[in-house]
Amino acid sequence: MRYVVYFIIILIFWLLITFSLSLSNIIVGAAVALLTTLLFGKYSLESNVKIIQPQRYFWFIVYLFIFLWEVIKANFDVAYRVIHPALPIKPGIVRVPLEIKSDIARTMLANSITMTPGTITMDIVGDEIFVHWIYVQSDNPEVYAEKVSGRFEKYIKKIFE
Amino acid sequence: MISSIIITIGILFNLLGCLGLIRFPDVYNRLQSATKCVTLGTCSILLGVLIHYGFVEIGVKALLSIPLLFFSATVGAHALVKGSYKAGIKLGDKSVKDDYKEEVR
């Protein structure tokens, strides 16, 4: 069943990106989608029930706006550090505990962290995430856990878990 | 008009990202500017294209490129950072903290 959902998503994506509804294009798209599904289908979502729950989409849209705001702030922050003559950076690698468990939620959290204020996800070991931070603001682990992942974790939990 | 403004902002952010690539001291900080500023800059340019042309072929393609760019930039940055750490590239002189050291060894 999950393979079928995966197949349909890929086919829609193909049709959008080629932007034509001719028969030959649909056949080629179906072949490509089938091949991709056979090769990578086992990495897709664990359950299909989650796809049809509307509250997840609602939280996704809320999350999208919060995320966009954070991304814009992140960019001004990095841009400020680039332009400033003294180059005010204080980089370091910090360890942050993770609360969420499922793989796809962790992937989304890691991607969100990479895109926001001066942080890049380096690795996940067990239940901890390692983050390179351009300006380490304090030595207290709780403070920087809140700064790095706290804002997103509660929304991602609602969307994916 | 709006599309021109958005595209200009995008180009400005791309410029700043490239400036950061030159100014920052080590590979990790350089990747920070390379992923953040350049991704937002390029996304703004694509969004400007969408607004300028509307939902026709080129606009939809530009819109679809945004998530593709987003995921490839983040995953690529992650792979590069981890790879350079494993390859033994040191953090810059200004670094204050390194929790990852005990984990790799």
CB A122 within 8 A of CB A132: yes
State yes or no: pLDDT of B66 exceeds 60: yes
> How close, in Å, is residue A48 to chain B by CA atoms?
22
Residue A133 forms beta bridges with which residues?
A92, A119
Whether residue B9 lies within 8 A of chain A, CB to CB, comes out as no
Residues in chain A closer than 8 A to B21 (CB atoms) = none
Whether residue A111 lies within 8 A of chain B, CB to CB, comes out as yes
Which pLDDT score is estimated for B103? 65
A128-133, strands of its sheet edge to edge: A119-125, A128-133, A92-97, B97-98
Confidence of residue B5 (pLDDT cuts 50, 70, 90): very high
Residues in chain B closer than 8 A to A95 (CB atoms) = 99-100
Give the ipTM. Answer: 0.76
State yes or no: pLDDT of B105 exceeds 60: no
pLDDT in tens, A125-150: 878 888 888 777 777 777 777 777 77
CB B28 within 8 A of CB B91: yes
Higher pLDDT, A132 or B50: B50
Identify the H or E element spanning A18: helix A2-18
pLDDT in tens, A76-93: 887 888 888 877 777 878
Which pLDDT score is estimated for A48? 62
Confidence of residue B104 (pLDDT cuts 50, 70, 90): low
pLDDT in tens, A19-78: 878 889 899 999 999 998 888 877 766 666 666 777 888 888 888 888 888 888 878 887
